[in-house]
Amino acid sequence: MAVLGQIRARFAVTTPFAGMRIGCCMHVTAETANLMRTLVAGGAEVALAASNPLSTQDDVAAALATKYGVRVFARAGVDLPTYYRHIGRVIDRRPHLVLDDACDLITTLHATRTDVLRDVRAGCEQTTTGLLRLRAMAKAGALRIPVVAVNSTGTKQLFDNTYGTGQSTIDAIIRTTNTLLAGRTVVVAGYGFCGRGVASRARGLGAAVIVTEIDPTKALDATMNGFPVMPMSKAATQGDVFVTVTGNRDVITGDHIEAMKDGALLLNAGHFDVEIDVRWLDSNAVRANRGVRQHTDEYLLDNGRRVLLLAQGRVANLAAAEGHPPAVMDMTFADQALTAGWLAQRSGELEAGVYDVPDDVDAEVARLKLGSLGVGIDALTDEQAHYLDSWDQGS
C-alpha cells in the first residue's frame, strides 16, 4: 500500500491528529490495519470496532492491539449484541473524529450516546450503504455532525467498488465452492459500481451474466454493455449463481428461491444481510446442512431442490474471502487518511451535513497511485488551460 505508506511517513512528521481521539468502525483486515497505523503515526489515539460480525481477521486484530497501540474491539463470528457492545466500547473512548463503514457507529452515537456525540467534531463514511443511511438521516434532520462521503471519490468508486468488489466476490465463490464459472449463468442484482465490477469479472471467467435492476438508467447501461436485463422473477429460473449487490432489502425473496434450479448458489456482496431473504430460508427449508463446505450452508426446499448460501447471506467477499486486495484499498484508505487530516484542521467550521471529499484530495491520491505504478501522464499547456477556462472560442 505504497500511497498510504507515503501519507503515513508525512503524517509522522506533521502529526495532524496530535491530541485527538479517533473512533473507527471498519472491517478489521490487514488493509485496515495500515490505515490504523497511519492514524497512529499522525498522533491519534485510535479505537477500532468491526463493521461486520463475520469479517474480522483475528490475527490482524491481535497484532493491532499488541504491536501498534490500537484499542481493538473485534472478534470473528460474534453475535449481534456483542457486535454492538464493541461499537459501544469505541464510543466510550469519546472520539473527536469517527471513521465509519456502513454507518453503524454514527447511527449508534445518534440513537443512544448523544452525551458523547456532543464532542464528536466530524466523521467519514466509506460505503454506499452508509451513505444511503446518512442521507436519510440528513433528510430527516437527524444528522448532528458533518460527515464526508469518502465513498463518492473517483479514486474509491472506480477501483475499490468496481475492481475490488468484482474480484473479491468471485474470490469468495471460488474459495468456498470451487465452482467453475465458465458456461454458468451468473445473475447480478444491482448495476452500480460494485455490480458492474462483479458482472464484468464473471463475464471474464466465461459466465453468461444476467443483470437485474430497479434503476432505469443503470438497467440501460447494463443493456448497452451487452448484459441481458430482466426482472428477478424471470432471472431466478435461469441462474446458477446469484450475487446481490444493491444495498437494499428483499432482493431475492422466498418466491424467487422456490423458482431456482437445483444447486443454485446464493451470495450477497452488499453490506447488510437483508438482500437475500435468509429468514425465509431458515423458516421454510425442510433441512439446513450447515457448513457443507467452509462458509457454505445447503438448504433443502420442500420442492425437492437444494440451494447453497454463502456466509449466512452476509457480505461474502469479506466474510468468506479476504475483502478487496490492498492495491485498491490503498486508494480508499489514502482518501480516508487525507480526509481525516482535512477534517482535523476544520474543527467547528463545518455545519452538520453530508460533504464531498475535497477535489484536491481525490486528485492527490490518483497522482500518488500513478507515481507508485510508474505511470506518467501529460500536463496541460498554458494555452490548453486557458482554452478550458474560456467560453468565447467556438467553431
How far is residue 145's CA from residue 122's CA, in Å, rounded to a whole number? 6
Provide, rounded to whole angstroms, the least separation between the CB of residue 43 and ligand ADE: 23
How far is residue 250's CA from residue 157's CA, in Å, rounded to a whole number? 24
**At residue 299, what is the residue type?**
Y
Q: Which residue from 29, 34, 107, 246 is in contact with ligand ADE, where contact means CB under 6 A?
A: 29
Strands of the 241-244 sheet, one edge to the other? 208-212, 185-189, 241-244, 264-268, 306-310, 296-300, 287-293
Indicate whether 365 belongs to the interface with ligand ADE (CB under 6 A).
no
- Tell me the backbone φ, ψ of residue 37, rounded to 5 degrees: -65, -35
Of 114-143, binders to ligand ADE (CB under 6 A) are none
Provide, rounded to whole angstroms, the least separation between the CB of residue 305 and ligand ADE: 32
- Print the binding letters for residues 154-193 with ligand ADE: x by CB under 6 A, - otherwise: ----------x-----------------------------
Q: Count the residues of the shown chain that bind ligand ADE, applying the rule CB under 6 A.
A: 10
Provide, rounded to whole angstroms, the least separation between the CB of residue 324 and ligand ADE: 4
Question: Whose Cβ is closer to ligand ADE: residue 3's or residue 210's?
Answer: 3
Pair 261, 301: CB distance under 8 Å: no
Provide, rounded to whole angstroms, the least separation between the CB of residue 100 and ligand ADE: 12
Provide, rounded to whole angstroms, the least separation between the CB of residue 327 and ligand ADE: 10
Of 288-327, binders to ligand ADE (CB under 6 A) are 318, 323-324
Indicate whether 27 belongs to the interface with ligand ADE (CB under 6 A).
yes
Indicate whether 260 belongs to the interface with ligand ADE (CB under 6 A).
no
Question: Whose Cβ is closer to ligand ADE: residue 208's or residue 327's?
Answer: 327
Pair 197, 165: CB distance under 8 Å: yes
Provide, rounded to whole angstroms, the least separation between the CB of residue 172 and ligand ADE: 11
Q: Which residue from 8, 32, 285, 361 is in contact with ligand ADE, where contact means CB under 6 A?
A: 32
E strand or H helix at 72, and its extent? Answer: strand 71-73
Indicate whether 100 belongs to the interface with ligand ADE (CB under 6 A).
no
Candidate ranges 11-19, 22-30, 185-193, 341-349; the one touching ligand ADE (CB under 6 A): 22-30
E strand or H helix at 353, and its extent? Answer: strand 353-356
Determine the Cα angle at 228 with ends 193 and 212, to 5°: 50
Q: Which residue from 1, 20, 31, 244 is in contact with ligand ADE, where contact means CB under 6 A?
A: 31
Indicate whether 329 belongs to the interface with ligand ADE (CB under 6 A).
yes
Helix ranges, the chain (H): 2-14, 30-41, 58-67, 80-92, 104-112, 114-117, 128-139, 154-156, 165-177, 193-204, 216-224, 232-235, 254-259, 278-284, 316-319, 326-344, 359-373, 382-389
Q: Is 178 helix (H, G, I), strand (E, B) or coil?
A: coil
Q: What is the CB neighbour count within 10 angstroms for residue 325?
A: 15
Chain residue at closest Cβ approach to ligand ADE: 323
Question: Whose Cβ is closer to ligand ADE: residue 56's or residue 107's?
Answer: 56
How far is residue 340's CA from residue 44's CA, in Å, rounded to a whole number? 11
How far is residue 51's CA from residue 137's CA, in Å, rounded to a whole number? 19
Provide, rounded to whole angstroms, the least separation between the CB of residue 207 and ligand ADE: 22
Provide, rounded to whole angstroms, the least separation between the CB of residue 329 and ligand ADE: 5
Cell numbers that stand for 147 in this block: 460527515
Provide, rounded to whole angstroms, the least separation between the CB of residue 92 and ligand ADE: 23
Binding stretches for ligand ADE (CB under 6 A): 26-27, 29, 31-32, 164, 318, 323-324, 329
